[in-house]
Structure 1
Amino acid sequence: MKAYVIGGGIAGISASLTLAFNGIKTSLIDETIGGNFLNKTCIPSKILLERSKKEKDLDKIIKDTKNIIINLKKNYEDLLERNDVEIINDKAIVYDYKLVLKNKTIFYNQNDKIIICTGSLPISLDFDFSNLIHYSDELLSLEGSYENVVIIGAGPEGVEIAEIFNNLGSKVTIIEKKERILSLEDEDISQFYSEILKNKGINIILSKEVKKIHSNDKDIYVEFEGGKIKADLVFSCIGWRPNTTFLNLNDLKFDDYLRVKSNIFVAGDLANAGVANVAKLQGRIAALNAIGKNIKFGDKIHPYVINTDPKIASFGLKEKDVQLARVYKIRFDESVKNMIDNSVGYLKLILDASGRILGGSCVSKKADEIVNIFYILAKLKVNIDQLNSFYPSIPSYFDDVIDAIIQKPNL
């Protein structure tokens, strides 16, 4: 048996290493290791946001970011090679029982395993002058400076990019056709972060759909319901779609085991991962199932983070999804750790009637770390009252959170 992993993003890397750890001869096929995750979107945007807080020269920031990515890519390549994963730098067109590369065709049989991790592509806007629209996978191709930046879409990606250019001194406008930003979050989180963006000077236009983009050779104009705005850079951040461009299979429907058929599995955005940690987990599960395990992918409470400043992180159920829930809503702006870090702090925990943790959301510089802790507690089925016996280090965000919970025992 041999395994072929198609796609070198975080899901493909995870699948390849899992197969190799289990003694399976594995080839990872992609034009470059790292996929969008490392080379274009997830990691680059985080580096750009962090660097733009201090450095205002976009060209320099992009150059530094590319150098960091080169080193990170080499680390992944070395890890794969140390574990005897064959890296084939090519694009594979996938058919039933064959993989067509530029210079050769690989034939596989029923005993060989295929794990497809081809990721996703930005959903494009169908406008005249569509060549004027940029997408988040083009961040590292930008040059120069931009006075007026318009971002279409106020999801996590749009908000992150808005903050990057706001840090660089651009006048930033977000246009969102829904009634609030970050619409997948609970309303209080959306409102809380909307105020943060406004205080930073970012203009937010809600409940307006972009109708037209045009140019007079000098300026770009974005027209929306009831108005228009001038820009010299326009980003569309309205979502992503699975990348099936090079897949010529009869069916890509998959089951709870990420299995398309007995020898073909999917992971990552093809399996609706949406975030990197889920893609990584799916890669591992798909690989284990390919070698005979029987593991369902069913973690519905996974954590995720929006790398804004401060960060936004969530896990598990939302307040709107739970009836008869107990809800802790905690502001800890004046706590010791938040004052040291000069940050804001908001935490919401969703509990069932017995006090078991079902989900939560947090806005803080350390929101990802706070939410990861509560995610683990939720997985361990910890009751909120048990936190009374915890005594973390001081000062720490977790200590601030426990203090706040103890002070509000009857919510």
Structure 2
Amino acid sequence: MKKYDLLILGFGKGGKTLAKTASAQGKQIAVVEQSQKMYGGTCINIGCIPSKTLVHEGLESGSFNQAFELKEEVVTALNKKNYHNLADDENITVLDYKASFKSNTEVDLLDEQGKVVDTLTADDIVINTGAIPVIPDIKGIKESKHLYDSTGIMNLREQPKRLVIVGGGYISLEFASMFSNFGTEVTVLEANDKLMAREDKEIVSHAIKDLEDKGVKFELGAQTSEFEDKDGYTIAKTNKGDFEAEAVLLAIGRKPNTDLNLENTDIKLGERGEIEVNNQLETAVKHIYAIGDVKGGMQFTYISLDDFRIVKDKLFGSGARTTENRGAVPYTVFIDPPLSRVGLTAKEAKEQGYEIKEGKLPVNNIPRHKINNDPRGLFKIVIDATTNKILGATLYGLQSEEIINLLKLAIDQNINYTVLRDNIYTHPTMMESFNDLFNI
């Protein structure tokens, strides 16, 4: 049995960054990654980077083939770079096996046949195995040759004329927007009666209209009961009718990947199958941590990176950093144009008892929209009327994915909204919209 200072299960953002940090401290680290295609983690290989490359290229060229070729080049280069960043470090050993807990202190390494080839132990163990797609139990789902999860749909060799997406969440909407830009006919089947129910209703109505104007069709309240393959396409059978397509994307959601024989440990799982952790990301076993998607919560690569900071501070610092002081978390839905959010909506703020002021600015009132040649969108902010502090913002429009980060900073630093209102900004930019947006 081999002993290390630190054992990391999974090659994701938080884990790989922690490995390099521990190496700089002179520690001996083992990183176990089951798939060579996942060097660097979900974001680089099957998540943010490939999907946003496709989104960007779809907007730039509208060419399916060109976009997918570029995506493959980008992913291959980053996968290789990430592997060598760790494997070439004299203090880090990368092991291509499946990890399986033998006890609270021992982890078996399994080959492709499930045979134990080695057993490792370490002073500290970090679980960084991410999340996997939820595959619903629907008749015909295992037999169909045209069904894909979010990974498979990004490896298509031919552009489908029609795409049906089962599920209406954020991942679904991003792919719907992306494929419609390539010219594919897209239909979204959502079981609920609303899309983006947690977002500001007015902005959602703008976003849905823009998607529909691009040709995306939405069927709400659609319960999918069966898939049936015909010659070269699949029929999705629902209570709203049958929908045919050359490709069907299953976008029901993602769940924590805990296939690690955790029953051999004292690690506890939550109601949704996530690994339970405290505010320093320790599991029920004090020397074992869980970071990134596997612990549940928001599934963003930048959360995994902040998880790294918390574990780093616990192992090598003061231990003051926790999940409770990471501040507001912004996010962007990369539809066309992007929808970005941080903090509370007006509805949420009122429900929490705040007296609010609300600012609203259509994108077509921002001079920059003429240069962008895109008038679509709406910016909204929510202010605490008592303290003048910013409670939240939802920005729907070009470059919102960049601007939202400044609002996160303003919220975390308790900056009075009038500071942003009265600041001087370069012109012509989307950022100068703050002069009007905050003029309330």
TM-score by length of 2: 0.86
CA contact (8 A) 1:349 1:359 kept: yes
Tell me which of 277, 293, 302 is aligned to 1:277. 302
- Separation (CA, whole Å) in 2 of partners of 1:105 and 1:127: 39
In the TM superposition, what are the counterparts of 1:367-406 in structure 2 within 5 Å?
367-406=400-439
SS of aligned partner of 1:399 = helix
**Counterpart code for 2:378:** Y
- Deviation at 1:128? 2.1
> For the structure 1 residues 20 and 337, does the alpha-carbon distance in structure 2 shift closer, same or farther, using more than 3 Å as the test?
farther
Instruction: Please state if 1:114 is matched with 2:125.
Output: yes
In the TM superposition, what are the counterparts of 1:110-189 in structure 2 within 5 Å?
112-131=123-142, 132=144, 133-189=147-203
- Deviation at 1:280? 1.4
**Counterpart code for 1:345:** G
> For the structure 1 residues 403 and 186, does the alpha-carbon distance in structure 2 shift closer, same or farther, using more than 3 Å as the test?
closer
SS of aligned partner of 2:226 = strand
SS of aligned partner of 1:230 = strand
- Separation (CA, whole Å) in 2 of partners of 1:198 and 1:174: 11
* Deviates most, 63-72 or 377-386: 63-72
SS of aligned partner of 1:269 = helix
- Deviation at 1:21? 4.0
Instruction: Please state if 1:307 is matched with 2:315.
Output: no
Tell me which of 365, 371, 389 is aligned to 1:334. 365
Aligned match of 2:314: 289
Tell me which of 317, 325, 347 is aligned to 2:344. 317
CA contact (8 A) 1:154 1:237 kept: yes
Tell me which of 86, 98, 108 is aligned to 1:100. 108
- Separation (CA, whole Å) in 1 of partners of 2:63 and 2:433: 37
Tell me which of 175, 197, 203 is aligned to 2:211. 197
CA contact (8 A) 1:265 1:290 kept: no
Aligned match of 2:273: none
Tell me which of 73, 78, 85 is aligned to 1:72. 78
Aligned match of 1:15: 18
- Deviation at 1:91? 2.4
Aligned match of 2:46: 40
> For the structure 1 residues 61 and 398, does the alpha-carbon distance in structure 2 shift closer, same or farther, using more than 3 Å as the test?
closer
What stretches of structure 1 of length at least 5 have no aligned partner?
none
Q: Relative CO higher for 1 or 2, CA cutoff 8 Å, sep ≥ 6?
A: 1
- Separation (CA, whole Å) in 2 of partners of 1:293 and 1:86: 27
What stretches of structure 2 of length at least 5 have no aligned partner?
269-275
TM-score by length of 1: 0.92
Identity, in percent, stands at 22
Aligned match of 2:379: 347
CA contact (8 A) 1:388 1:402 kept: yes
Q: Deviations over 1:121-166 (max 9, x none)?
A: 1010212221332110113331212111101112111011112221
CA contact (8 A) 2:14 2:307 kept: yes
- Separation (CA, whole Å) in 2 of partners of 1:337 and 1:21: 45
| Count of residue pairs the alignment pairs up | 405
- Deviation at 1:75? 3.0
Aligned match of 2:272: none
Aligned match of 2:243: 229
- Separation (CA, whole Å) in 1 of partners of 2:165 and 2:241: 15
Q: Deviations over 1:200-252 (max 9, x none)?
A: 11111112222222223444211222312111111111111100112423323
**Counterpart code for 2:336:** D
**Counterpart code for 2:139:** D
* Deviates most, 199-208 or 72-81: 72-81
> For the structure 1 residues 22 and 374, does the alpha-carbon distance in structure 2 shift closer, same or farther, using more than 3 Å as the test?
farther
Tell me which of 4, 9, 24 is aligned to 1:6. 9
CA contact (8 A) 2:153 2:249 kept: no
> For the structure 1 residues 262 and 250, does the alpha-carbon distance in structure 2 shift closer, same or farther, using more than 3 Å as the test?
closer
> For the structure 1 residues 64 and 218, does the alpha-carbon distance in structure 2 shift closer, same or farther, using more than 3 Å as the test?
closer
Aligned match of 1:259: 282
CA contact (8 A) 2:346 2:382 kept: yes
- Separation (CA, whole Å) in 2 of partners of 1:303 and 1:106: 40
Aligned match of 2:266: 250
What RMSD, in angstroms, separates the aligned Cα atoms of the two structures? Answer: 2.1
- Deviation at 1:39? 1.1
Q: Deviations over 1:361-411 (max 9, x none)?
A: 1112201111001111111110111224411211111112223323xx2xx
> For the structure 1 residues 142 and 218, does the alpha-carbon distance in structure 2 shift closer, same or farther, using more than 3 Å as the test?
closer
> For the structure 1 residues 28 and 105, does the alpha-carbon distance in structure 2 shift closer, same or farther, using more than 3 Å as the test?
same
